[in-house]
């Protein structure tokens, strides 16, 4: 007996959640519909799902690390008053801040843009 589309949809969602692919589980149906309407390739569809999954995992990782650090949410490099530190430490903070900014820019440049996979997913 063939499985209905609704049952297959629910089963797929449960299986994706069991595999801890939450972004896939919550986005696959909407993206599949959009891909079908716009004639997006299977590869571009899969690319978008993987990209969403990686972004959500990175967001959760950052949130977990911030929580584990125990720092108040308002503590950032922007709010840090360097005047209270000796000159050598202020210089180290500035170097760290610059390297963090450069690393972020390099990381963003290395991430392939979705437009590379398909100009329709924007």
Nearest C-alpha neighbor of 54 from the set 15, 111, 9? 111
pTM for the complete prediction?
Answer: 0.58
- pLDDT exceeds 80 at position 108: no
**Per-residue model confidence as pLDDT tens digits over 10-56:** 999 999 999 999 998 999 999 999 999 999 999 999 999 999 999 99
> What would the 3-class secondary structure string for 56-122 be?
HHHHHHHHHHHHHHCCCCCCCCCCCCHHHCCHHHHHHHHHHHHHHHHHHHHHHHHCCCHHHHCCCCC
Q: How confident is the model at residue 122 (pLDDT cuts 50, 70, 90)?
A: very low
Average pLDDT, the chain: 81
- pLDDT exceeds 80 at position 109: no
Distance CA 11, CA 16 (A): 9
Radius of gyration of the chain (CA): 21
Distance CA 37, CA 58 (A): 30
Domain boundaries, the chain: 5-117
42: three-class secondary structure by DSSP: helix
Nearest C-alpha neighbor of 46 from the set 28, 21, 25? 28
């Amino acid at each position: 007996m063939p499985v209905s589309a609704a049952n297959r949809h629910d089963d797929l969602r449960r299986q994706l959640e069991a595999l801890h692919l939450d972004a896939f589980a919550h986005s696959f149906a909407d993206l599949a519909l959009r891909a079908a309407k716009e004639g997006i390739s299977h590869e571009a569809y899969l690319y978008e799902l993987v990209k969403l999954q990686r972004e959500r995992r990175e967001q959760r990782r950052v949130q977990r690390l911030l929580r584990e650090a125990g720092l108040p949410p308002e503590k950032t490099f922007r709010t840090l008053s360097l005047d209270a530190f000796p000159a050598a430490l202020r210089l180290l903070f500035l170097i760290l801040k610059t390297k963090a900014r450069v690393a972020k820019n390099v990381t963003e440049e290395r991430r392939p843009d979705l437009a590379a996979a398909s100009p329709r997913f924007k």
